[in-house]
Each structure stands twice: as structure tokens, then as C-alpha cells.
Amino acid sequence: MYKILICDGLDESGLKVFRSAEGIEVDMPEGLGADAIKAILPGYDAMIVRSRTKVTADLIAGAERLKVIGRAGTGVDNIDVGAAGERGILVMNTPGANAMAAAEHTLAMMLALARHVPQATASMRNGLWEKKKFLGTELYHQTLGIVGLGRIGSIVAERALSMKMRVLAYDPVIAPEAAKALGVEYVSLDELLAGSDFITLHTPLTEETRRIINRETLAKTKPGVRILNCARGGLIDEEALCESIAKGHAAGAALDVFEKEPPAGSPLLEMERVIFTPHLGASSRQAQENVSLAIASQILDYLQRGLILNAVNFPSISLKDYDRLKPYLLLAERLGSLQGQLCRPVVALHVTYGGADLLDIPAQPLTQSVAKGLLDPILSEKVNLINAPVLLKHRQIELTASTTSQSRGYTGEITVTARGPGKMEFTATGAVFLGREVRLVRLNDYMLEAELQGVNLIIQNLDKPGTIGHIGTTLGNFNVNIADMHLARSRAEDRAIAIIKLDGEAPQEVLEALRSHPSIVSVQQVKL
């Protein structure tokens, strides 16, 4: 049974998805504060928030059961994604599900700002008829500067172009060709500031974009510029915006989002030339339905099938890729685990992907799976695909990966090389058989075909007669049953290896007895 806590409410469409799923219990208490959420969170596998709940490191500190935090919306700046990642908690959002709503709201704000609609409404409510006072400006042939040409910025651009506006865009993360294809002029931030009659912000709130509109950038704008923000409050230095409007440089602003929400006491609220809405960008019936459906199905997919979509701290895996990846995720994990038990301590790991199956597959989840396999048997804390790379980094274990077109004839094979101190190095290659069975096909220079599963003894010996007899007799004497056995000879040295799968773990005295034979070089027991 998975328990899901919904903190800030959720549209009925997503609740229906949860209700029709088996083994899911949902709680949606109203208006819980941080302390109350913290107290109950340890009982939940998943939590869903919108922007009200601040998911801090402290809030999730005791949430041992928590596997996933779902953001029913786009911005994840209310979630400490780093802290969640360290605890192995997946963070996912629903990008695009409310993009149309936010874009249309931006256009509504731009038109309302240009024609003083809210001010005129308020004036009429006061019994006035002030035709002259509310002389507006047309958008036709005016220049709109879009900062951030992502999902929402692009929709705003298309619609602004259809109103025959000239559109400039600044976005350092997209290719100029993508802007050109939209019919937008790709410019620098300075060019955008200097050339726009309206400037609209559509970036996430990051260290780079925080207060991107400030005293300095406002000084570079055209006199009479109008600023729109339906993205994130922190993108504008509100004091600087107030100053600019007060001294008559900026002609006005339309704000849906604020540094502090609600913005009680903000001087912006007193300014006649500023219009606002209370973070309504995503508040359309359709957007709420979309985000609710999206987050509910994403969370179900993750909890029940391990499928990851729209995670912000893990690469997304499409359903098609996931089916192909599944056996390789297991193979990668088992190889990591094998290496963690053979090579102690591990200083560095390198993973190589070979074979046609793995050439075009997203390899990062596989690499993270190797890390998980390595750490899981060693650490007492919860290790999963999400936090394994962070935990490796904490231990200063280097993890690198590469892809090669060469293979030993398998359609997909993974090689994990583990380096220890000095010259210690182990190389293990695995492949998937029959689409599901994971096998070790090479260990250092021994060629094998041993199933990577269960308890195994890995015995290296001098290639002399009688050694296998000693192994069989010793195990028999201690009543340890052999389930499977693979032998291989080294091509370089006069040595051989035996990988012996046991029905259960062999006690230490058995390992000592095996080691007592002069031809035995090493005996290691690994649990996979």
C-alpha cells in the first residue's frame, strides 16, 4: 500500500486516477502548516504540492518512507531539490501542463495593461466615466521583448506575432535557429532591453535570473517601457521597479507573481500604473485538470512501475526506452554490486556501454544504477538511483562512463572497471540473455557465462589437477550445496577461476577451509 499526501489541494481529475488505482491511499488535509506536515510526512510514500507548501530540507528530514515529491505545476523553486536528491527522493513536476494558461494570462495582462482595463473598471465602480484619463496604447507594431523562450515564452511569441507585434527574444539556452523558426528576432539581453516597448519574463527563478530586472537593467530600457511578470516573483527587484515607475521612466507593470506572496505591504500595490493578479497564471480549469492528471499518473507510474517522467533530479525515461532499459538497469546494478564487493576500497569506477542495443539508449540511468549497486550493500542509509551519484561524490569515488561501438558479440554489454588503491583493478563485463537474464561474461581476463544473482563464491586458483576436487569435497563436508558452477582459465597466466553459486551464504570457516589448499589463490563470497 502506497500512501500519498496532497498538501495544497488537487483537481478532481487526478484524485480519480488515484482512486481507481489499486494499493493507493490518498489524504488531502486542508491548510496544513509546515509543522503539521512535518509531523505526518514520515507516514507517506509520496507528497504532492503546488506553490504554497515550501518543501525544505527540514520538512523532509524525518520522512524515511518518502520516495517522491510531485509538484502539480512547473516551478520547483519552493522545493529544496538538492536536499531531496541527497535523501534519494525523486522530485517531479508537470512542465507544459499549464503553459497555455500561463501564456494566455500573460497576453490578458499585456492587453489589460496597455488599455488600463483594471483601472477603468475600478473608476467606473466608483461611479466615474473617465474617458480621457485612460488613453491607452495599441500592441500593433509595438515591440515585445521575451526573456526566456521556453514553453510559455514561445506560446506568447506566436500569439504576439499574430497581433502583428515585433518580437525580440533573449534566451541563452536555445539555438538562434529555434527563435528564427518561430519568427522571432534572437537578441542579446541589452538589445532586448533597449528595443522593447513591453518586456515579459518567462524564465525559471535561478541564481542567474534572480532580479534580472533591476536598477541597472531598467536603466537600459526605453522610456515608457511596460514590464510583465507571470513567471516568478524573484525575477524583478520590486523596489527598483517602483522607483522607475515613480520617476516616470517605466510606464507601468503587470504582475502575477511577487517576491513575497501575498505581497502584503508592498508599495507596488499602491501604484496606479501597476496591475496585478494573485498568481493566477495557471488558474484555468483546463490547466488544473492537466496538472492534476499529469502528476497523478506520473506518481503512480513511479511508485508502481519505476517509470520516471518529468523528474527534475533524474533523467526522464520514455516508456519505450524503459522497456529496453529494464534488464540493463538490473545488469548495471549487479555489476556495481559485484565490483563493490571485489574491489575494496573503490577509488574510481568507469562504465563502458557496448553493443547495438546500448548505442542509442539514455545511459545515465544505467551509470547511476552501477553507483547504486556499489553502495547499496555497503551503506546503512537508503541508496537509490537518485542519491547514489551524490553519495559517491561524498565518498570521493570518481564515476565516469563512455560508449563504444565495439562489443564481444553481445547485442548489449556493460563493462565496469573498478580501481582501488595502487594497481588494484577489476574489470567485469555483463550481458543480458533471453531479454531478462543477467550474466557475467568476463571477469578480468576470464571468459564466463555465470548468472549474476544470489550468493556466489569467486575462487581463483592455480590451474592444477585436484583443486576443483578440494573445493567440492570441502563444500560437501560443510554441507554447503552447490546450485551452479562456472569454470574458466586465464589466457595470460597459469590460473583458473571458479564461480560457484550456493543455495545460501557459506559461513566464514568454510571460506577458511577452502583457502587452506596450496592451489587456492583467493576466495571471495559475493551476494548479488
Which residues 6+ apart lie within 8 Å of 495 measured at CB? 460, 461, 462, 463, 489, 521
C-beta of 71 vs 87, nearer to ligand MLT: 71
Minimum gap (Å) between residue 106 Cβ and ligand NAD:
8
Angstrom distance (rounded) from CA 424 to CA 101: 58
What does 365 bind: ligand NAD, ligand MLT, none (CB cut-off 5 to 8 Å by kind)?
Answer: none
Task: Return the half-sphere exposure (C-beta side, CA atoms, 13 A cut-off) of residue 520.
Answer: 21
Total of residues contacting ligand MLT (CB under 6 A): 8
Is 289 a known active-site residue?
Answer: no
When asked if residue 282 is in the footprint of ligand MLT (CB under 6 A), the reply is: yes
The verdict on whether 486 is a catalytic residue reads no
Catalytic residue among 87, 232, 486, 517: 232
Strand 446-451 and strand 185-186: the pairing is unpaired
**How far apart, in whole angstroms, are the C-alpha atoms of residue 290 and residue 284?**
10
Cell digits of residue 166: 515585433
All 3 cell numbers of residue 372? Answer: 547504486
Q: How far is the CB of 60 from ligand NAD (least distance, A)?
A: 21
Between residues 208 and 270, which has the closer beta carbon with respect to ligand NAD? 208
Q: Give the DSSP H or E segment for 393.
A: helix 388-394
- The secondary structure of the chain in percent helix, strand, coil, rounded to multiples of 5, reads 35, 25, 40
Q: Using alpha carbons, list the distances in angstroms from residue 131 to 116, 120, 370.
A: 11, 9, 70
CB of 73 to ligand MLT, least distance (A): 3
> What does each C-alpha distance from 511 to 117, 426, 507, 520 come to in angstroms?
84, 21, 7, 11
Considering only 70, 153, 234, 281, the residue that binds ligand MLT (CB under 6 A) is: 281
Q: Is 51 in the site for ligand MLT (CB under 6 A)?
A: yes
Residue 74 is a binding residue for ligand MLT (CB under 6 A): yes
What does the per-residue mask of binding to ligand MLT show for 229-258, with x meaning CB under 6 A? ------------------------------
Q: What are the angstrom distances between the C-alpha of 442 and each of 79, 183, 408, 410, 465? A: 44, 55, 10, 12, 23
Interacting residues of 253 by C-beta distance below 8 A, sequence separation 6+? 113, 226, 227, 228, 229, 241, 245, 268, 273, 274, 275
DSSP SS3 for 453: coil
Residues 92-121 that bind ligand MLT (CB under 6 A): 98
Chosen from ligand MLT, ligand NAD, none, partner binding at 203 (C-beta under 5 to 8 Å by type): ligand NAD
Q: Which does 209 bind (CB under 5 to 8 A by kind): ligand MLT, ligand NAD, none?
A: ligand NAD
- Is 279 annotated in the active site? yes
- From CA 510, how far away is CA 422, in angstroms rounded? 30
CB of 31 to ligand NAD, least distance (A): 20
Active site residue: 116, 226, 279, 419, which one? 279
Dihedral in degrees, nearest 10, Cα atoms 102, 103, 108, 110: 120
Closest residue to ligand NAD, based on beta-carbon distance: 150
Separation between Cα atoms, residue 288 and residue 98, nearest integer Å: 7
Residue 11 binds to ligand NAD (criterion: CB under 6 A): no
Contact letters for ligand NAD, residues 356-395 (x by CB under 6 A)? ----------------------------------------
Helix extents (H) in 142-278 = 151-162, 176-182, 189-195, 215-219, 238-246
* Partner whose binding site includes residue 70, from ligand MLT, ligand NAD, none (CB under 5 to 8 Å by kind): none
Q: Is 177 in the site for ligand NAD (CB under 6 A)?
A: no
Q: What is the distance between the alpha carbons of residues 46 and 66, in angstroms, rounded to a whole number? A: 6
Asked if 85 is part of the footprint of ligand NAD (rule: CB under 6 A), the reply reads no
Nearest to ligand NAD of 35, 177 (CB atom): 177
- In terms of CB distance, is 51 or 339 closer to ligand NAD? 51
- Is the bond preceding residue 315 a cis peptide, omega within 30 degrees? no
- Of 14, 75, 336, 373, the one binding ligand MLT (CB under 6 A) is 75
- Of the candidate spans 16-24, 36-44, 69-77, 121-129, the one that interacts with ligand MLT by CB under 6 A turns out to be 69-77
**Active site residue ranges:** 232, 261, 279
Binding region for ligand NAD (CB under 6 A): 74-75, 95, 98-99, 102, 147-153, 170-174, 202-205, 208-209, 230-232, 256-257, 279, 281-282
Binding region for ligand MLT (CB under 6 A): 50-51, 73-75, 98, 281-282
